[in-house]
Amino acid sequence: MIRILLQRLLELIPTALVIVAASFALVRLAPGSPFSSEKEIPPEVRQKLEAKYGFDKPLPEQFIRYLGNLLRGDLGLSTKYPQRTVNEIIANGFPVTLSLAAIALLWSLLVGITAGIIGAIRQNTVWDHVAMTAALVGISVPSFVLGPLLVLTVSLRLHLLPPAGWGDWQHVVLPGLTLGTIYAASIARLTRGGMLEVVRSDFIRTARAKGLSESLIVWRHMLRGGLLPVVSYLGPAVASMLTGSVVVEKIFNVPGIGPYFVDAAFNRDYFLVMGIVLLYAFFLLLMNLIVDVVYGFLDPRVDVS
């Protein structure tokens, strides 16, 4: 297993190189400069700033220098926040985004799997219809509608939680719910679908014939098989929670790295854009790898190697 994992990790290197080269080329080909502003900057000052960041060197030289720094773990200096390194900005923001995604993931799994199980074991009853209608609504309502709705009701009307900010547990609840709901809805439908697929399988019939209790059948046999589609979905979903939290972080003023994904590109903050792209790419690749491994554990028919 370890050999296979190492092999898969090594395979990530050429992919990462392609991502670095492509994103470097794209961000540098975009018109405009990090130092352009409405008010003219004296040309001597501009030269000085370009020299400070190495932008005065030919592009190939800049790329090689960037790769060299990258190997040493140095992601460069931000041009928008000149007193901060990209490493520092990511180290500040990523744990925030990560904790937001963790809350969203917990919420989505808890609600999604519960609703999915109810839908499957009470198929075609009122319970099933209610759970699946709620899931349909959850999938259809985007976060930029759900977020303000939660702020209006929970914060401004009921005064239960703060409308925005970050610092203690109260600040995590609304953004976590907003981010996680759409995934909870998808997980509910996938769980229900997965369980209904295995409910008529031979091994379930065998389990019933052995006289196992219904709850044991549901928890030990049906759920394990029924969760396979959810596991496949979770890899991209977690990556998507990390990368797709831009809107939620804006609504709730969460100091994560989501907004940089857009703002750094607008600001031509070259090193910050590269840093965020690389981080997201790394997580996407890692999540896919984890899903492949977990799949092997859940379904004995899948050979990870």
Partner 1 sequence: MFGLCFALPCITASLLLGGCQQQQSPYFGTIEPRHGPEELWINNSSEPEWLDPGRCSDSTGGEIIWNTFEGLVQAHPATLQPLPAIATHWDISDDGRTYTFHLRPSFWSDGHALTADDFVFALRRLVDPQTGSKYASNGFIFQEGLAISRGDAAVETLGVRAIDTHTLEITLVDPLPYFLNFLSFYSFMPLPEHLFQDLQNRGIDPDLWTRPEYVVCNGAFRMTDWRFRQHMTFEKNEYYWDAVSVKLDRIRVAMVESATTAMNMYVAGEFDWPGGSTSLPAEFMDHLEKYQDFHSHPYLGVYFYWINTEKPPLDNPLVRRALSLAIDRDSLVQHVTRGGQRGSADLVPDGLAGYEGLHIPVYNPVKARQLLAKAGYATGQELPLVTLSFNTSEGHKQVAEAIQAMWQQELGITVELANQEWKVFLANAEQTNFQICRMGWIGDYADPYTFLELLTSDCGNNHSNWSSTTYDTLLEQANQQHDAEERLRMLREAEAFALHEQPLIPLYVYTRTQLIKPYVRGIWGNHQDRHPWKYMWIDESFDPHDLMVGAGKNVDEDEQVPQ
Query: Which residues of the shown chain bind partner 1 in the complex (CB under 8 A)?
Result: 30-33, 35-42, 44-45, 48-49, 52, 80-84, 89, 92-93, 142, 144-145, 148-149, 151-152, 155-157, 159, 162-167, 246-247, 250-253, 255, 259, 262, 266-268
Between 52 and 65, CB nearer to partner 1: 52
Between 212 and 247, CB nearer to partner 1: 247
Could you give phi then psi for residue 85, rounded to 5 degrees?
Answer: -85, 160
C-beta of 263: minimal distance to partner 1 in Å? 9
C-beta of 40: minimal distance to partner 1 in Å? 3
Query: CA 135, CA 268: separation in Å to the nearest integer?
Result: 40
Residues sharing a CB contact under 8 Å with residue 66, sequence separation 6 or more, in sequence order: 20, 24, 76, 271, 274
Between 138 and 235, CB nearer to partner 1: 138
C-beta of 25: minimal distance to partner 1 in Å? 17
Residues sharing a CB contact under 8 Å with residue 56, sequence separation 6 or more, in sequence order: 47, 50
Instruction: Look at residues 231, 253, 226, 257 and name the one whose alpha carbon lies nearest to residue 101.
Output: 257
Between 72 and 157, CB nearer to partner 1: 157
C-beta of 146: minimal distance to partner 1 in Å? 10
Asked if 230 and 193 touch (Cβ cutoff 8 Å), the reply is no
C-beta of 115: minimal distance to partner 1 in Å? 26
Between 30 and 67, CB nearer to partner 1: 30
C-beta pairs of 125-133 under 8 Å, 24+ apart in sequence: 128/192, 131/188, 131/192, 132/188, 132/189, 132/192
